[in-house]
Structure 1
Amino acid sequence: MIFEKINTVPTADELLDKSFRRATRAMSGKTISGRKTAIEANESMMLTAANILTDNLKNIVRRFPTFENLQPFYYELADVMVGVDDMRKSLSRLDWASAKIHEIAREYVGKIRKSRDPPLVRKQCFGRVSSIIYSIEKDLLFLNEARNKLRKLPSVHDEPTIVVAGYPNIGKSSFVTKVTGATPEIAPYPFTTKGVSIGHFFVGNDRYQVLDTPGLLDRPMSDRNEIELQAITALKNLDAVVLFIIDATETCGYEVEDQKRMLEEVRSEFKLPVLVVANKADLPQFMELDFVDMKMSTATNEGVSEVTSTLIEMVKKEIEEKERIKAEKVEKIGTDDL
């Protein structure tokens, strides 16, 4: 997973404590017998502290991904959850702080070699360095919070994908569990799926991934919360087919007409192949609907395997179509070069 290599981002106090402890250790055991040794000892402390800080700041920046190279799926999820521009700004400030601390250390090396009071110069240097670190304290805290959120994202692969969508409490998580053996949290209240979760299943040697999206509500994009935006991101940025589940009993708390409007919004917004399946066929309240393609019951397994087989065929057709379009583009480029 791309965000797993991001270590905990230390606080300003933790960075300074670490650097000053190492600086003190660098001086311990040395005998200061005159001005020359005093200069050398205090210079060593300054450079050690500065190197620890610059190295730690550079490592924080290095471990965050280059956002331009992220898959669109991850880029938009990161943008929804923490804000890519905000992360860029904070990482840029850490870069600035690292360079500034290096510059200050070199400046004070020159000063300390001319000084009659090396410890005073070293303390002045530490004071300026501390001010730099405290000036990026909010950035360090923000980046650590971002790191904690991003590490929880699912690992999505470039492979055949089925996105499960629909209102809350209509059986999305149950379907994923039945098909993949994954066990996302299931509870009888809205938004039980706290983010995009993922499961896998095999057909022969081919692996398929199934994304269980949070509940999508029928309201304008601008009114959606973070969880709903994650679901939309999954739909927009994956080469996938969509299983849109309808609760044909309305026991989820939403009328069929509301669910149908949400279906039309998904179709118009994302331009992906959609299989519409009515769930809860085992219940007496189940209604036959003319706009659905299939029916099933995730409670009894009725129709689940048939729905899965249909989705697999849709995925295969989607892949074949993309390969055809890709081949046509390659052929056209070759023709144009003649």
Structure 2
Amino acid sequence: MIFEDLPTTPTSEELIDKAFSRAARAGKAKGGLEAQQSMLQTAANIISDNLENVVTAWPDFEYDAHPFYYELADAIVDVDRLRQSLSEVMWASRKAREIHEEYQPRLRKTDVDTARKHRKQAFARLADIVEQIDDELLYINESRNDLRDLPDIDPDAPTIVVAGYPNVGKSSLVNDVTSARGETASYPFTTKGIGLGHFERDHIRYQIVDTPGLLDRPPADRNEIESQAVSAIEHLADCMLVMVDPTGECGYPIGSQLELRDSIVAQFEDVPVFTVANKADRFDADELDEAAAADHAMSVETGENVETVLEAAVEAIDYEPELPFDG
């Protein structure tokens, strides 16, 4: 996951302390003019390199980030503001090098006292540059903390997204069809953990995702952040399974469940969507078409037709792995 290994961003105070304390040690190892030159070079290099590393640790959102992760990130943090903050930090990195290049010649052909005076002036300007981007450094680190714990979903893997009202059996399905118990991880904009599982067909690994708090209620009930998160999932889904409960045991009438299904079909118009009636062991299959207008009926509890539903999803995705080019 592209945000997982982002390093902690130092505060302006931490960076200044680090640069100047290292510079002091470098100066003690030498004497005279050489000490002043070494102190300036050390401080400027640490500031410039650390600030540059802050920027280069982040992916280029325009070129490196998959649209899924781009929109997901933008739902959690303000990507435009983050990019501006990174730009300001890179400006400060270049400015630190310019200050070094401006003052270093002044420390070569002069007396020690004058060189010390110039070095102190350079230190003051370096500190001022870093302090100017204090807010940017704080925002970058806050963004890093918000993004680094996102679930490790592979946006390039063939993916089935399970949707539907609460208590229709979505998480039970995810857990049932995966080789191990489905992973659960939290998004900042959901009240419950995202269910994520994997299964294999013909040596291809498929992801199956349940998104409680996002696709389990009508669009009108979602806030702006949640709506944007759903837009991100549009880039992720290769097939949608909208689960309904014709028995009404979930606590929602079938009419409301089908209205949610219709809204999902409208939003995911370029994705195959199957309506799957769960709890087939508790209703009359002969009445299914009229009651639920479902493509498939199954029972996660008994296992009835679960494999049939999965096979239909796999067939609809029709995933073909990229083969290495053999010229």
Q: Same fold (TM over 0.5)?
A: yes
Residue among 264, 267, 275 paired with 2:262: 264
Residue among 45, 51, 61 paired with 1:51: 45
What's the offset of the Cα at 1:108?
Answer: 2.5
- Say if 1:47 and 1:12 are closer, same or farther in 2 by CA, change over 3 A: same
Moved over 6 A (4+): 284-287
CA distance in structure 1 between the partners assigned to 2:146 and 2:181 by the alignment: 21
Question: Greater CA deviation, 6-15 or 278-287?
Answer: 278-287
Residue among 122, 127, 132 paired with 2:124: 127
Residues 270-281 of structure 1: matches in 2 within 5 Å? 270-271=268-269, 272-281=271-280
What's the offset of the Cα at 1:237?
Answer: 1.0
- Say if 1:252 and 1:139 are closer, same or farther in 2 by CA, change over 3 A: farther
- Say if 1:219 and 1:285 are closer, same or farther in 2 by CA, change over 3 A: farther
Look up the equivalent residue of 2:133 and give its one-letter code.
I
SS of residue matched to 2:16: helix
What's the offset of the Cα at 1:283?
Answer: 5.2
What's the offset of the Cα at 1:174?
Answer: 1.8
Q: Deviations over 1:257-295 (max 9, x none)?
A: 222222111111221111111223455899942412222
- Say if 1:166 and 1:47 are closer, same or farther in 2 by CA, change over 3 A: same
Look up the equivalent residue of 2:206 and give its one-letter code.
Y
Contact 1:245 1:278 in 2 (8 A): yes
Residue among 77, 92, 96 paired with 2:91: 96
Q: Could you say which residue in structure 1 is the equivalent of 2:156?
A: 158
SS of residue matched to 2:50: helix
Q: Could you say which residue in structure 1 is the equivalent of 2:325?
A: none
What's the offset of the Cα at 1:201?
Answer: 0.8
SS of residue matched to 2:257: helix
Look up the equivalent residue of 1:194 and give its one-letter code.
G
SS of residue matched to 2:244: strand
Look up the equivalent residue of 2:140 and give its one-letter code.
L
Residues 57-96 of structure 1: matches in 2 within 5 Å? 57-69=51-63, 70-96=65-91
Question: Greater CA deviation, 99-108 or 44-53?
Answer: 99-108
CA distance in structure 2 between the partners assigned to 1:310 and 1:134 by the alignment: 58
CA distance in structure 2 between the partners assigned to 1:278 and 1:123 by the alignment: 74
Q: Could you say which residue in structure 2 is the equivalent of 1:335?
A: none
What's the offset of the Cα at 1:198?
Answer: 3.0
CA distance in structure 2 between the partners assigned to 1:294 and 1:312 by the alignment: 14
SS of residue matched to 1:214: coil
Q: Could you say which residue in structure 2 is the equivalent of 1:310?
A: 312
Q: CA RMSD in A?
A: 2.8
Contact 1:279 1:297 in 2 (8 A): yes
SS of residue matched to 2:42: helix
CA distance in structure 2 between the partners assigned to 1:209 and 1:52 by the alignment: 43
Q: Deviations over 1:205-256 (max 9, x none)?
A: 22212122233221338x525345323311x213601111123344444332
Identity of aligned residues (%): 43
Q: Could you say which residue in structure 1 is the equivalent of 2:137?
A: 140
Which runs of 5 or more structure 2 residues have no equivalent in the other structure? 323-327
- Say if 1:23 and 1:185 are closer, same or farther in 2 by CA, change over 3 A: same
Residues 16-35 of structure 1: matches in 2 within 5 Å? 16-30=16-30, 32=31
CA distance in structure 2 between the partners assigned to 1:104 and 1:52 by the alignment: 13
CA distance in structure 1 between the partners assigned to 2:158 and 2:184 by the alignment: 24
Q: Deviations over 1:55-112 (max 9, x none)?
A: 1111111111111122211111111121221221011011111011111222232444
Q: Deviations over 1:169-221 (max 9, x none)?
A: 332222111111343449xxxx55435x5321111322212122233221338
Look up the equivalent residue of 1:183 and give its one-letter code.
G
Q: Deviations over 1:27-56 (max 9, x none)?
A: 1233x4xxxx1x321221111111011111
Q: Could you say which residue in structure 1 is the equivalent of 2:220?
A: 220
Residues 162-181 of structure 1: matches in 2 within 5 Å? 162-180=160-178, 181=180
CA distance in structure 2 between the partners assigned to 1:64 and 1:8 by the alignment: 11
Look up the equivalent residue of 1:14 and give its one-letter code.
E
Q: Between Structure 1 and Structure 2, how many residues are aligned?
A: 307
TM-score normalised by structure 1 residue count: 0.81
Look up the equivalent residue of 1:280 and give its one-letter code.
K
Look up the equivalent residue of 2:310 and give its one-letter code.
T
Question: Greater CA deviation, 200-209 or 284-293?
Answer: 284-293
Contact 1:298 1:304 in 2 (8 A): yes
Contact 1:213 1:231 in 2 (8 A): no
Look up the equivalent residue of 1:78 and give its one-letter code.
A
Contact 2:16 2:47 in 1 (8 A): yes
SS of residue matched to 1:245: strand
- Say if 1:171 and 1:27 are closer, same or farther in 2 by CA, change over 3 A: same
Which runs of 5 or more structure 1 residues have no equivalent in the other structure? 324-338
Q: Could you say which residue in structure 2 is the equivalent of 1:327?
A: none
CA distance in structure 1 between the partners assigned to 2:257 and 2:157 by the alignment: 29
Contact 1:173 1:184 in 2 (8 A): no
- Say if 1:23 and 1:295 are closer, same or farther in 2 by CA, change over 3 A: same
